[in-house]
Structure 1
């Protein structure tokens, strides 16, 4: 069961990254919120490197795939992210902020390893940054006043990709922390999916008379 849930999660998150790359270049934007992107990229680089050094498991294969895909997502952020910020933010200031964000993310991930060890750190940090991402997706929707740089596939795949390890490590693994964090992720993810679905419905012009029987 754990292997099955790992594959489901791996496939779903791979779909998130592939569509984030597609949407990013199509809309000339970035499809994963900046802080969450930095933490995810740091997590994947760290644990993909660990997998290569100690022996590649099923999860390790996905970590490597995600890390490579995330490089392309990071490129969309560096290429188009400046346009999302106020005009007073220069290109140099934007790149400096992006570098600080990356350094902070790698530091945080390493501190998790130092505090909890490799196995627990990979799970605790993953679910905490996942919850952050869930909230930031809603903030992104609000800030962009719609679905630019976003897609329903990303929302649904992120939800499934998080729900599977929530069941694996929270429920089957008996971890209240992971179960709770994963449950909160689902609440935010479903709310975000609802916003995306609502945005796809055609708007009825003001004053239009609706009739029905």
Structure 2
């Protein structure tokens, strides 16, 4: 039940990211987090697939993330306008390869066949990068408090589910705490930024 709740809340977060991205003509997931997400989904959908129904949900997430990748390809260059076009694509390719290698290496090194360490590590990194993206843009394009909230609640459900099935390590607990702290800060910053622009954060879906 907790796993299903996690999947539902994360799917909501992805859909809201896509919706906000098309409305604001931008991408809503930071580049490194997006490429790491895709790497995780490729590895645990096709290379080391789960031996449970979760593998099908991983595949669904992969195809949803491809839409976010499309948004990044379509709108990303305008966000990185200080980088020459050739360097932009080379940077994306290099980061994509490194992200995949990092997820694969941690998986093999720790025998982490369910992607717990890489999943929560990616999650914590994503939470931190959302804060960076908000400061870098200086506005709420591609972002909303509902994205942050559904992501946080989905991660909480995932951590509860993992805690019931596995013996959670100190590292996993630390990474979940990192997600908690970063997501709380991010939601407060979104609320503050919305107030500065004279809109309600709760009306911006």
TM > 0.5? yes
Any conservation in 1 of the 2:21–2:141 contact (CA below 8 Å)? no
RMSD of aligned alpha carbons? 1.9
Unaligned runs of 5+ in 2: 199-205
SS state of the match for residue 139, structure 1? helix
Query: Aligned pair 1:117/2:114, yes or no?
Result: no
Counterpart in the other structure of 1:74: 69
Unaligned runs of 5+ in 1: 205-213
CA distance in structure 2 between the aligned counterparts of 1:203 and 1:66, rounded to whole angstroms: 33
Kindly provide the CA deviation profile for residues 169-199 of structure 1, in whole angstroms up to 9, marking residues without a partner as x. 2476331221221122111111111111222
The alpha carbon displacement at 1:202 in A equals 5.7
The alpha carbon displacement at 1:101 in A equals 1.2
CA distance in structure 2 between the aligned counterparts of 1:200 and 1:24, rounded to whole angstroms: 17
The alpha carbon displacement at 1:82 in A equals 0.9
Residues 51, 59 of structure 1: alpha-carbon distance in 2 compared, 3 angstrom cutoff = farther
- 14, 38, 42: which one pairs with 1:41? 38
Q: How many residues align?
A: 197
Normalising by the residue count of structure 2, what TM-score does the alignment of the two structures yield? 0.88
Give the greater-gyration-radius structure (CA). 1
Residues 70, 114 of structure 1: alpha-carbon distance in 2 compared, 3 angstrom cutoff = same
- 127, 130, 137: which one pairs with 1:134? 127
Normalising by the residue count of structure 1, what TM-score does the alignment of the two structures yield? 0.85
CA distance in structure 2 between the aligned counterparts of 1:117 and 1:173, rounded to whole angstroms: 13
The alpha carbon displacement at 1:105 in A equals 1.1
CA distance in structure 1 between the aligned counterparts of 2:162 and 2:193, rounded to whole angstroms: 34
